[in-house]
Structure 1
Amino acid sequence: MLSQNRRRAFVCASLWLLAFCVNFADAASVKAGYQYQEIKAIAKQLTHNSEPAEFEELIEKSRVFIKAHPKYKRVDEVYYRLGNALIRLEQTEEGTAVFEELVKDYPSARYIERSLLELGLAYDKLGKHDKADAAYEKLVSHPKYGSRAQAKIAAKILELDTSERKGKEPNPFGKPASAFVGKPAKDFEVINLKGEKFSLADYRGQVVLLDFWATWCAPCRAEMPHLKKTYAKYREQDFEIIGISRDMGKPPLEAYIAQEEITWPQYWDADNRICNLYNVRSFPSTFLIDGEGVVRKTNLRGHRLETAVAALVKENAARNTAENAETDSQ
């Protein structure tokens, strides 16, 4: 009987101990999850204008977390946040050490992709191009991430001369809009929504605004009243707008145009051809072209756009008057 009681007591104690361990593990997991969410929230709030103390808070909490929860399922993200924060505080050597530790201990983790690229950029910033090359090459040849976007950026960097590598990502989309200023606008020939063929060259002699937009783009819709006002004011003074839409299909575009009573020419750039021609990757994007076909301004909005249009319309009228007077005198 005593032996049976002892067995029962042993079983009860074992069950109690098991329950205690499970509860303890659950509590630790909940605590780790809470700390992870706190770190993630702090990281999301940080900008280039944040105070150093805000970065220091993230760094401190991340160090504590990594030490306490090295096996947490998202510890790789915390490593990444830590390394990134150190580099942004110009503590680049410490940042590279964090990334190196992550790469060594968690070679297939989700944040390895970003971390290898930032590790390479950090080494380039320090002038340690051999180590940068090693990081880029590891990313490019990675069995899991070698075909993804970050690896493609790394491959582009490897093509550059080391003298050009300053620790920043190269522009993957070619020259920015401002690089078009002062140069002839790139011509194109398309068929508008009404089925009419036209080219940019058809508008030579007029001031033209190329407006790259989409109905799903909230800033584009917010800008529409300003465009309509400017168009109404200057359309009779040799000013034209050409809309280049990147909508997913024609129906929403045509419905919006009808609803807003937009009357300037519209082209649905379904294959991204005109966007690629002007290296447009964000919306809205605008190119203001003078009467001689030269890009004069880019990405103007609201009052600044109207002011620039007014100046070019005036300049264009003066040039046309001078040319007509010269023709009459001959």
Structure 2
Amino acid sequence: MTATADIRWERKDDEDWAAAFEFHLVMRHLPPREVTERALADVHEAVREAGGSVRELFGDPSEYADAIAGEAAGTSPARAGLDGVTAGERFAHTLLVGALVGGGLAALCWFEDGLWLGFSWASLTAVVTVATAVLLVCGAVALRTAGRIRAVWAALAGSVAVVAGGSFAMSVLPERHLFTLPAPLLVAACAALAAGAHRLSADRFDTWFAPPRPRGAEAWLRRLEGLLRGRHGMSRGEAYEHVAEARSHIGENPVALREFEDVEAYAAALAAGPRRAHRAERRKALGAVGFAVAVGLGSFDILRAADVSSFWFWSAAVALGFAVAEAVVSLRRAARGRRGRA
């Protein structure tokens, strides 16, 4: 992230804002480099002409980054979730993170076990189980942004079933050696998957998760509830109140369904307002807690062995510590936002 290298900001606060904007834009949206450079150049020129601070002119850097990314991708704000990311972008980003983590683990195995890694039926089943479960979780996260709540639970249930089935298979399959593979090959495979997730069009991914256009009032109302709860992070009760109100309007005046027009735009309008920021912080906190739980479950056996001389013990301990710290920080931030709103 070096797009700000050739720009000289008169105020330190403006420079910090630009760095935060660039970090958020690149890490969350992965736009082409020219998009970041053009956006920063436009901001710098506007600040120089207006004479005010960049925050006064453009507001929060993360929100402005989401807006720039949406404009660059031609994305309607109604299609984006609480963090300004569409379902296709969310799937691509989650898959990218999974591929990078997989590559990192393969590199650690290379460092710890040597160049050649041996596989048995049990270890091969473990790799397939983890890869399938991660793919299902990536799909569940994207389906949530798409507003397809039932499909989210189906994907998560499938992930649990895959892990349970894989664990049982590993307990009964023989440990007999089958073949060896060079560790760099696994690292390269994960790198190729990460590159593919980065380069493929998010619009193509969006079409995978978009449901059919709702036909009829009940289908429209079900879609509205799914969008409010999944894409916009409303609680079940809050979403139900909005759906009940819309159902009442439609019952009194059937033409109201045409007046509401596109269900995604209507859901986005209902979700707008000061509570949106709190919902975003709450969802981020829940995601951090879920990640910490996943890391804890994944590292349980390693930590239970308490072999402090083991490289994997300390790797698992550091990963779990980082995940727990991130969860605590996110929960405290969400709690502060709730108290501030109250």
Normalised to the residue count of structure 1, the TM-score between the two structures is 0.19
TM-score (norm 2): 0.19
Where relative contact order (Cα < 8 A, 6+ residues apart) is larger, the structure is 2
Looking at secondary structure, tell me which structure has more strand per residue.
1
